[in-house]
Amino acid sequence: MKVLRVIPTLDPEMGGPQTTIVNAAIAERRVLLEPTIIFTGNKRSVTATAPARARLDAAGVRTLMFPSSRWLPSSMVSRWGISRQMSAWLLRNAHRYDVVHVDYVWPWSTLIAAIAGSRAGRPVVMTAHESLTRFGIETRSGSVNHKTRLWAQAKLCVRAFLMRYVDLVVMTSEMEHADSIRPNEYAVVIPHAVVADPPEKPLTEPPFPPLVVGYIGRLHPKKNLEVLMRAVAALGTSTKVIVCGDGDPTYRAQLHQLADRLSLSIEWRGHVDAAGRTDLFAQSHVVAMPSAYECFGMAAAEAMAAGVPVIVSKTTGVAPVVEKYECGKLIEAGDVDELRVALADIASDADWRRGARINSLRAAVAAYSYASYGERMATVYAELLTRTCQPSDRDRSS
């Protein structure tokens, strides 16, 4: 079965979805599907996407990069997937694939791929990456500080038009499914593929003290990194924080200034590759993700896959798995004192830390394996192809 995966960019600096689509395509290839990933980029993208393309090539996954429109501002090149060449290619070639699978809701690449797939009579699948949740609809660019009714109404209008061409929405957690605003009559929950080949045992805990808290992700207000910093400052004990990730320069400077005012020991590593993530996990006693909202929580899931306990907000998709397997602590998003208490508990209980490391690996293998993702997607694709042999929901409603 040939699957066409469409995403605006594979640039890893854009966030978690650029990792999850690579994992997903490799997982699909392992169950003998034939995925192809297409995306847009510029000269910089050739270098930035090289590691991802190398992984995909080694797994037998084809990739095609189309040039982004030259008139776009550099900040929009990767975000919107606008490419005349890719649009024309999709309209000409969608019929050569059995399924068209788009990532994200709002980019041009999603809209043109959905229309092309529908025109070719192919089922269209969407992984929304939080964009159909109330949080994603009501906030601009994922910021908790920019909520406008006009922006939400505009998104709802785009969503209503786009969903005419979408046959299935894949949600990555039960929370995302419950929080989404009627994505489609046909939606399924399939967590991301995180664990490719499970290690036999978790990473060895680094020396203690001091407590080392890891953070990996964009430097963005929704991530609540300030909450983590204030909780560490309130802890009153020797604690080191390692921050991996980058973001808006102005916001980054604000974080550095806050760290200085709080006299925190923070190692700022910037954006890191796969090896850098492995180093972070090997050096951390716990990885914290106190975000305002995460439909899944890729950084936490990757930490668990390495056998590292996590602290996540209750508004994170992985939270039920963390609670079930007792491999971390759950906190209310934005609550500095709850986060401080969680850190203090972890620092004071070596037995808990040892058990949580084992439980973290068990949880990730059980919930987020490549094998599970690949098998479930293969089943869903097959069911969709069966449905397309019958009158579609769109046909019946017209």
Q: How many domains does the chain have?
A: 2
Total-model pTM: 0.91
Same domain, 277 and 238: yes
pLDDT tens, position by position, 178-232? 999 765 568 999 999 999 999 999 999 999 999 999 999 999 999 999 999 999 9
Strand order in the sheet with 168-171: 62-67, 34-41, 2-6, 99-103, 124-127, 168-171, 187-189
- What confidence score (pLDDT) does residue 184 get? 56
User: Does the residue 200 lie in any domain?
Assistant: no
Which range of residues forms the domain containing residue 221?
Answer: 211-367
User: Does the residue 215 lie in any domain?
Assistant: yes
Q: In whole angstroms, what is the distance from residue 290 CA to residue 121 CA?
A: 43
The answer to whether the CB of 325 falls within 8 A of the CB of 309 is no
Same domain, 296 and 223: yes
User: Does the residue 198 lie in any domain?
Assistant: no
Domain containing residue 268: CATH number: 3.40.50.2000
28 CB-near residues (< 8 Å, 6+ apart): 3, 35, 373, 374, 377, 378
94 to each of 2, 58, 259, 380, 385, how far by Cα in Å?
11, 25, 50, 19, 15
Is pLDDT above 60 for 338?
Answer: yes
Same domain, 224 and 152: no
Same domain, 27 and 111: yes
Same domain, 156 and 294: no
pLDDT tens, position by position, 339-362? 999 999 999 999 999 999 999 999
Same domain, 178 and 37: yes
Same domain, 338 and 217: yes
201 CB-near residues (< 8 Å, 6+ apart): 307, 358, 361
Q: In whole angstroms, what is the distance from residue 355 CA to residue 251 CA?
A: 37
Same domain, 44 and 132: yes
Same domain, 219 and 175: no
Same domain, 245 and 385: no
Of 97-106, 134-143, 266-275, 333-342, the poorest mean pLDDT is in: 134-143
Same domain, 121 and 11: yes
